[in-house]
Structure 1
């Protein structure tokens, strides 16, 4: 029997009425899903958090079926939500998807967009990541809200305008070849997810998280690598890791050292242990 521990913390709200957090964590006896709804700057429209909640509801019965392929069940869930609410590609809210499922024989992971899964295995630490969005950002480093933050502009109204322009540009690359893939209104996006399957006997634990947590490794360097993040979770638990990431952001209140869309992003981290003992040997 796997043991699951979850920690969550809301971040800054850029749009009034978007809810306490746009991250959603679904825990089942045989699975965990972590979804990160994309922030929208358009008041009055359905938020990414709303979409993540609807997608979690569609995923729940499908994940409970151990025979269903992870990509197929994600595609079916995307299609169900799109049909129920008449969502249109390119005009709808969206969410990342990180799915972890297990039985007595195997552990499966699927990652769509930037909500990674880290597996602690007998052969070492294995990260399941989808780096398409990060690759796009690295090719477009110049200008925009990040340069504005580096120069001391801060998280003011000008930042919101610059961020909105960046989000508009990014949205044109969503769910198209050469861009990045995410859960929205295109079921085929699920086929572009990164996947892994391991024998359960080889997996000690797993971390499933949104980028409000993974930034501690990938952006801030608080944790030198994924193994260091696992060590930190072992020492203090998931909530302590969230606190450490948040403290780092509070030490950079204007985003000059680590330019980012929001001063604080929503945070969600699920720890799944497949054995009673802690990491050793």
Structure 2
């Protein structure tokens, strides 16, 4: 069973996207270029997600599939590295025997079962504090961070992990508008607490608690951040249902 919840930052159209198939979930967080072309982060996330859905019918390596998707989008829309919208990528794909995961940039995957495993790409977080102008200058560089954009080689910089299907009962995939509740705000003491709330009240309850916490800090004093609210996307894969 797959359960999802998505919510835009108030007053904005969401740049987060969730795509599902019978045996895969893709979660994306679009990033609009600071020198935007005709298309923005929402467009890029939507386009990349649709391309990945077509490719995920294959059992090829997830990084290879992501590289192919980026290559096709670049060719079709004439995107230029460094001057293109972008997106984080989190993919979970499963068979009866295994679960393949891929994370590129700050949209983590958390698996629960025999153990709890966090598959996360923390390279952007490790660069902080950096200015908004510095972020694009460090994109897709060896000493910077990696994200899906107009350079397909970024796909093979993704964090990947394969786990035995028998060891995993549930999987959470989240954009940073949700993971901030654990990593930054610490309104949930662990990802297990997030899972417990989803189990009790549904995924929307997690988004509600994050929004309430952000509203309690309108001046960004308790939790320094560039904006009061971010887009939110959350998916739960429940292999026990």
Q: Which runs of 5+ in 2 are unaligned?
A: none
Structure 2 match to 1:68:
60
Deviation at 1:12, TM superposition (A): 4.2
Structure 2 match to 1:56:
49
Query: Of 97, 105, 117, which residue of structure 2 is paired with 1:105?
Result: 97
Deviations 1:19-75 (A, max 9, x none): 62100110100100000001455677421111101101110111122x211000001
Structure 2 match to 1:117:
109
Looking at structure 2, the residues matched to 86 and 234 of structure 1 have their Cα atoms a distance apart, in angstroms, of 44
- What TM-score results when the alignment is normalised by the length of structure 2? 0.96
Please tell me the root mean square deviation across aligned C-alpha atoms, in Å: 1.5
Q: Which runs of 5+ in 1 are unaligned?
A: 14-18, 142-165, 277-281
Is contact 1:206-1:272 (8 Å) kept? Answer: yes
Query: Of 174, 177, 181, which residue of structure 2 is paired with 1:212?
Result: 177
Counterparts of 1:83-232 in structure 2 under 5 Å?
A: 83-122=75-114, 124-137=115-128, 140=129, 166-232=131-197
Structure 2 match to 1:234:
199
SS in 2 for 1:272: strand
Looking at structure 2, the residues matched to 101 and 44 of structure 1 have their Cα atoms a distance apart, in angstroms, of 32
Query: Of 5, 8, 11, which residue of structure 1 is paired with 2:9?
Result: 11
Is contact 2:34-2:136 (8 Å) kept? Answer: no
Looking at structure 1, the residues matched to 37 and 93 of structure 2 have their Cα atoms a distance apart, in angstroms, of 35
Please identify runs of 4+ aligned residues in structure 1 that moved more than 3 A. Answer: 39-45
Q: If you compute each CA radius of gyration, which structure gives the higher value, 1 or 2?
A: 1
Is contact 1:104-1:200 (8 Å) kept? Answer: yes
Counterparts of 1:240-259 in structure 2 under 5 Å?
A: 240-259=205-224
Is contact 2:33-2:84 (8 Å) kept? Answer: no
SS in 1 for 2:220: coil
Is contact 1:32-1:100 (8 Å) kept? Answer: yes
User: Quick check: which one's strand share is greater?
Assistant: 2
Residue 251 and residue 186 in structure 1: after superposition, are their counterparts in 2 closer, same or farther (change >3 A)? same
